[in-house]
Structure 1
Amino acid sequence: MQTGKRNFRDTIFLNKRPDLLNPKKISNKLFTRTFGKNIFYFNSIDSTQDAAKKLEQNGAPEGAVVIAEEQTKARGRGDRSWFSPKGGLWFSLLLRPSLEPKEIPLLSLVFSLAIAEAIEKECKVICKVKWPNDVLLENPRLKNSFKKVCGILIEMSAESDKVHWVIVGCGVNVNNLLPKELIPKVVTLKEVLGKKVNRNVLLQALLKAMESFYIKFVQEGFSVFYNSYNQKSILQDKNILIEDYKNKTEGKFLKLDSDGSLILLTARKELKKFFSGDVSLHS
């Protein structure tokens, strides 16, 4: 007798099936309103972000997703190159939100929380978020050892009071190999779980969670996520180093403010507020 419950091992793990993304399979079992209803698949592409921008210019609807097996010229924040070979989840999501331009940076916090919770639920692992756009994964064999498993890039076109479009780029290390120079700070789901992950099932879970969080954010704002984000933040009570426009500031992470900014308590007992920057844990 079937209970209707999904079997964890039969869905999230690949077993002997080929590790290929299948847009039809993703869409068929994707119970969302708009996210992933239009999927544009590429075996290899320069950048899913650039492809999504072209689709936007051609009138693609909100929720359209560009996915690729590999990217050859992918980029992260600050135009840094993003290593994205076959085996990972590299996708860009097109949004046309009824939000003010000042609210858009909060999407990186909202989506990183959504992705962290979805990976936890689907893969039975522990994730943390790191301001402003990273998801970290714990290696259960090394307690409290967290490495980056996902990064998010937010790009938009807007006027002073109106947002035309937003493209959310997501890179998740799933079954892909990592270059030696990234191994100290980056991890894959395969490495932690010990088996290949079904990327089609995982992408379904991510898009479902992202849409749910997005709708709630548009309707109710960031306040509904504020406590959850702080609880899942790797920075809680940590000494950190933040690099912002070539300036480096050390201090203790005090809190995430309601507007999504980071509040730092410096060694001189000064409070400093940051809306962007690169953060690293500092001993």
Structure 2
Amino acid sequence: MKNEILNLLLKENKISKEAAEEFSIYDIDGLMNTIKNVGKEKTEHIQRDKIIDGLDSPLFKENIYVYKEVMSTNTLAKFFADQGQDEETVVISEKQTKGRGRSGKKWESPLGGVWLTMIVKPRIDQTKASLITLATGVAVANTIKSFGIENVEIKWPNDILIDGKKVSGILTEAVAKLNSIKYIVIGVGIDVSLENNKMSGDLKEEAISLNKASGAKVDANEVIKRFLKEFEIIFKMFEDEKYEEILKEWRKDSYSIGKYAKIRQPFGNSFDAYIIGINKEGTLIVEKADGTLEKVISGEFEIKD
């Protein structure tokens, strides 16, 4: 995490390497203030003032920081949170050089997308923390629909699809203290205008942008503004423990339920199963070939024809 902070300050020419090293050791408050000030400076593609202007969501309005480039918004947000930064903070970057997906997978994050991380400190039971990913998925799906885009679906546990192609992913990381949640960082990536021919590997065929799906140019600043509004609505439900209402919304847009798939779990375990649904904890429930039911807490799946 230290390298992330030094890289940001040095790239912005805000501090010498020698001074940065002293800062990180002796003056954490000063380091935090420097990083926050950088996040309030003018950027070219995603503009803090445009996001804040007319934002009718008070949840995050006071603590929005936008950067030209960081290695990972999740890493920077965790640094903020570890230093006591207020909840309800958003860290945004025009691009990431070392963006991460689930299981440490590389997340391509060039110009043309929304790459942001929110810091929240929900006052809930620790066992419900995993539901925040599903709740965020509902907020992203509703945001995309607000641009007139149809066929938006949520793929368990953390992807948003349009016409079966990936447009968004979510990475949540919870930090606990004793039996309570200290904070959760929620990373969200949304493909706004990326060109598929500039992507690597399977993403060329498997990804889709909001521009392509809508047939019009979508403003990334407006995407962020609408998402923060939608997230505030769903987060209020989350804190009010209206979990079944959230799950009902999730199930309505589910890509997964009712399909036959190959389930891949950690440590190489895989099997074919019919996806029945999710339970109240957000765990995937599947029926195996022998008729037995199984809970899938973590893993991935591929739909079979």
**TM-score class normalised by the smaller sequence:** 0.7 to 0.9
| CA–CA distance in structure 1, aligned partners of residues 77 and 149 of structure 2 | 31
Is contact 2:237-2:246 (8 Å) kept? no
Q: Report the Cα offset of residue 193 of structure 1.
A: 2.2
| CA–CA distance in structure 2, aligned partners of residues 125 and 19 of structure 1 | 30
Q: What percentage of residue pairs aligned between the two structures are identical? A: 29
- SS state at 2:86 partner: coil
Where does 1:65-214 land on structure 2 (aligned, <5 Å)? 65-138=90-163, 146-178=164-196, 179-181=199-201, 182-214=203-235
Q: Report the Cα offset of residue 25 of structure 1.
A: 1.4
Unmatched runs of 5 consecutive residues or more in structure 1: 1-17, 139-145
- SS state at 2:69 partner: strand
Q: Is residue 254 of structure 2 the alignment partner of residue 229 of structure 1?
A: no
**Match 1:252 to one of 268, 274, 281:** 274
The one of the two structures with greater contact order (alpha-carbon pairs below 8 A, sep at least 6) is: 1
Letter matched to residue 230 of structure 1 = R
**Match 1:264 to one of 267, 286, 291:** 286
Letter matched to residue 273 of structure 1 = K
Q: Which moved more, 1:155-164 or 1:44-53?
A: 155-164
User: Which one has the largest radius of gyration?
Assistant: 2
Letter matched to residue 207 of structure 1 = L
Q: Report the Cα offset of residue 19 of structure 1.
A: 7.4
Where does 1:5-16 land on structure 2 (aligned, <5 Å)? none
- SS state at 2:205 partner: coil
1:4 aligned partner: none
2:299 aligned partner: 277
Is contact 2:147-2:214 (8 Å) kept? no
CA offsets 1:164-190 (integer angstroms, 9 cap, x no match): 010000000111233152122211112
| CA–CA distance in structure 1, aligned partners of residues 226 and 102 of structure 2 | 24
CA offsets 1:85-108 (integer angstroms, 9 cap, x no match): 001000000011112222111111
| CA–CA distance in structure 2, aligned partners of residues 227 and 39 of structure 1 | 31
| CA–CA distance in structure 1, aligned partners of residues 208 and 62 of structure 2 | 30
Unmatched runs of 5 consecutive residues or more in structure 2: 1-42
Number of residue pairs matched? 259
| CA–CA distance in structure 2, aligned partners of residues 134 and 203 of structure 1 | 17
- Indicate how the Cα distance of structure 1 residues 19 and 187 shifts in structure 2: closer, same or farther if over 3 A, else same: farther
- SS state at 1:264 partner: strand
- SS state at 1:164 partner: strand
Is contact 1:122-1:205 (8 Å) kept? no
| CA–CA distance in structure 2, aligned partners of residues 249 and 35 of structure 1 | 42
Q: Which moved more, 1:21-30 or 1:81-90?
A: 21-30
Is contact 1:252-1:265 (8 Å) kept? yes
Is contact 1:130-1:235 (8 Å) kept? yes
2:37 aligned partner: none
Letter matched to residue 195 of structure 1 = A
- SS state at 1:166 partner: strand
Query: Segments of 4+ in structure 1 off by > 6 A?
Result: none
